[in-house]
Amino acid sequence: MIKKYYLLSPGPTPVPESVLATAAEPIIHHRTPEFSKIFMETTEGIKHVFGTKEDVFILTSSGTGAMETAIVNTLSPGDKVISINGGKFGERWGNICRAYGINCKEIVLEWGKDFTKEQLEAELKANPDVKAVFATLSETSSGAVYDIQGYGGVVEKTEAILVVDGISGIAATPCPMDEWKVDVMVSGSQKSFMIPPGLAYIAFGQKAWKFVGNSKLPKFYFDAVKAKKNLEKQTTPWTPAISLIIQQKKSLDIIKSMGLERLYNHHRILGEATRAGVKALNLELLAQRPGNILTAVKTPPGIDGAKLVKTMQGKYMAYIAGAQDPNKGKFFRIAHLGYMGGFDVITALSALELTLADLGYKFEMGSSARAAEPIIRENWI
Ligand SMILES: *Cc1c(COP(=O)(O)O)cnc(C)c1O
């Protein structure tokens, strides 16, 4: 067979051809009216996707840079915070906090397990001195989505701010920042925003801006006040990743012409089709509250999980993602976010079937596509 590569990972994700083509255009200078226009249109587009009236800052960094920006601009050394750690990315909030001397009380969940707003309310009652709650919209390591709307309602009634990692979830699943009372929202370019890695996005609500005024943690590159002053002049403090911003503008045009509701529906259909396909193979999902961004599937008994991922990636070139440490081999992750369509789900399921057959798993060949196809066909939009 010709070796054709299928990127089915939850980040980086495939980039539309029309977006990639803009990367071949000559570089324009960033301190020009021509670039400012593109920059401001891009900023407006991200604001729309974030569901906020607040400023959105475009940072030249990967998503983790926006997470660090959230922390260094709102907190001071010794501040007490709560972080909901349901996997690799929830864990990152705690790691960044500790690097800056923040007293982080981590709620460590078994991967895939939910954490309800009532549980958060009880935590906040027991810890009234908490300054911030860190949560994740879509925990990319487990496929779980969390009740950000519920958390927003709980945190709103306290003195604390709610900081949400929407790096894989934003632009794939609803999370309107202002309506759901999210105080700080962060996202990144290489997941549902459909462009290559290298940009991160952050917005602060009114309650969070008060924290910014009092924050004593050190910051320089990621200083939100500098970013705000520069945004007022339609520019950035530092040289931005010019060509990525141009690509983001192009992909936001695609999102805008589709509309957010259709975009979320599209992801919901892909999620449902994937789950139906996986269940038809008698495989189990990891997440208690599975999202429509990616599907984490438990490795069936008797099958070597590492070998499954290696076969899918190496032999069939269907680049799904394995499980990260400390759960390597226990499950695998099929992504369906960003520039992925119904047939990408079928590709992933077919490659999974071929792999399972190679590894000696007993199932009826073709059953996963047979379960997924009607869902894709009946909901085609
Ligand atoms: C990808 C991802 C990150 C990390 O982003 P980088 O761009 O690798 O820095 C953080 N959180 C979530 C939920 C992610 O999916």
How do the pLDDT tens digits run along the chain, 381 residues long? 888 999 999 999 999 999 999 999 999 999 999 999 999 999 999 999 999 999 999 999 999 999 999 999 999 999 999 999 999 999 999 999 999 999 999 999 999 999 999 999 999 999 999 999 999 999 999 999 999 999 999 999 999 999 999 999 999 999 999 999 999 999 999 999 999 999 999 999 999 999 999 999 999 999 999 999 999 999 999 999 999 999 999 999 999 999 999 999 999 999 999 999 999 999 999 999 999 999 999 999 999 999 999 999 999 999 999 999 999 999 999 999 999 999 999 999 999 999 999 999 999 999 999 999 999 999 997
Whole-angstrom distance, CA of residue 129 vs CA of residue 94: 17
Contacts of 306 (CB under 8 A, 6+ apart): 322, 328, 329
Which residue's CA is the nearest one to ligand 1's atom 2? 167
Distance of CA 238 from the midpoint of ligand 1 (Å): 22
Nearest ligand 1 atom to the CA of 197 is 7
Query: What are the distances in angstroms from CA 10 to CA 65, 181, 182, 295, 368?
Result: 18, 26, 24, 10, 21
Distance from residue 157's CA to the centre of ligand 1 (Å): 29
CB of 11 closer than 6 A to ligand 1?
yes
How many A from CA of 90 to the centre of ligand 1? 10
Answer yes or no: is the C-beta of 167 below 6 A from any ligand 1 atom. yes
Beta carbon of 93 within 6 Å of any ligand 1 atom: no
Contact between 111 and 141 under an 8 Å Cβ cutoff? The reply is yes
Among protein residues, the one with the nearest Cα to ligand 1's atom 5 is: 63
188 in contact with ligand 1, CB cutoff 6 A: yes
Residue 147, phi-psi category: left (phi > 0), alpha (psi -120 to 50), beta (remainder): beta
Q: Which protein residue has the closest C-alpha to ligand 1 atom 12?
A: 167
Cβ–ligand 1 distance for 14 under 6 Å, the answer no
Q: Residue 89: CB within 6 Å of ligand 1?
A: yes
Q: What is the pLDDT of residue 3?
A: 87
Greatest CA separation found in the chain? 63
pLDDT at residue 148 in the model: 98
Predicted pLDDT at 260: 98
Q: What is the pLDDT of residue 381?
A: 78
Task: Report CA(335)–ligand 1 centroid distance (Å).
Answer: 14
> Do 299 and 285 form a contact (C-beta atoms < 8 A)?
no
Rounded distance from Cα 377 to ligand 1 centre (Å): 32
Q: What pLDDT score does 1 carry?
A: 87
* CA distances (Å), origin 307, targets 143, 312, 330, 331, 347: 21, 8, 11, 11, 19
Q: What is the pTM of this model?
A: 0.98
Q: How far is the CA of 357 from the centre of ligand 1 (A)?
A: 33
How long is the chain? 381
pLDDT at 203: 99
Distance 65 CA to ligand 1 centre (A): 9
**Ligand 1 site, residue 338, Cβ cutoff 6 A:** no
CB 87 near ligand 1, within 6 Å: no
Ligand 1 center–CA 165 separation, angstroms: 8
- Compute the distance from residue 343 Cα to the ligand 1 centre, in Å: 25
| Contact criterion met (CB below 8 Å) for 139 and 115 | no
Strands (DSSP E) along 273-320, which ranges? 294-298, 318-319
CA dist., res. 31 & res. 36, Å (int)? 7
